[in-house]
Amino acid sequence: MVEWSEQERSIITSIFSNLDYNDVGPKALSRCLIVYPWTQRYFANFGNLYNAEAIKTNPNIQAHGTKVLHGLDRAVKNMDNIKGTYAELSVLHSEKLHVDPDNFKLLADCLTIVIAAKMGSGFTPEIQATFQKFLAVVVSALGKQYH
């Protein structure tokens, strides 16, 4: 079980309360698919992923990026039981979609970069450490079924 200080809870809540989900989610997912092209294999039915521009403007990618970011709301609202919160999603990604669990970490890294760029100097080392701790717990929860 992960211990969260009140300050960490406040930081995570603050980050998510100020996000433009329709901007940040698609940018993070697009970045992941562009920088790590092997991750595209899970999105074959999403249409044209031929190049970076096609990925960035693909409406299916944009919608899924927003959906993923909204999915993180569940973790924000259930910080004391993130593994339980994502148990079904872990099974889905493992047994039905066969997603490589390392891809969750790659997407988390891309999300960190996009949020850091949005926050600028407000993305302090303390905020980064807390955000990365949060994402590490989410990544672990999503990968739980693989263990």
> pLDDT tens digits, residue range 38-68?
999 888 889 999 999 999 999 999 999 999 9
Which is the CATH superfamily of the domain at 6-143?
Globins (1.10.490.10)
Query: How much is the pLDDT for 90?
Result: 61
104: pLDDT confidence band, cut at 50, 70 and 90?
A: confident
Per-residue pLDDT at 99: 62
> Could you give the percent of the chain with pLDDT greater than 90?
66
Q: Where are the domains of the chain?
A: 6-143
Separation in Å, CA 105 to CA 54, 63, 79, 111: 23, 20, 18, 10
Handedness of CA 114, 21, 4, 82 (dihedral sign): negative
| Residues in Cβ contact with 73 at an 8 Å cutoff, skipping those fewer than 6 apart | 16
Q: For residues 8 and 142, what is the distance between their CA atoms, to the nearest angstrom?
A: 21
Determine which of 20-24, 31-35, 97-101, 104-108 has the lowest per-residue pLDDT on average: 97-101
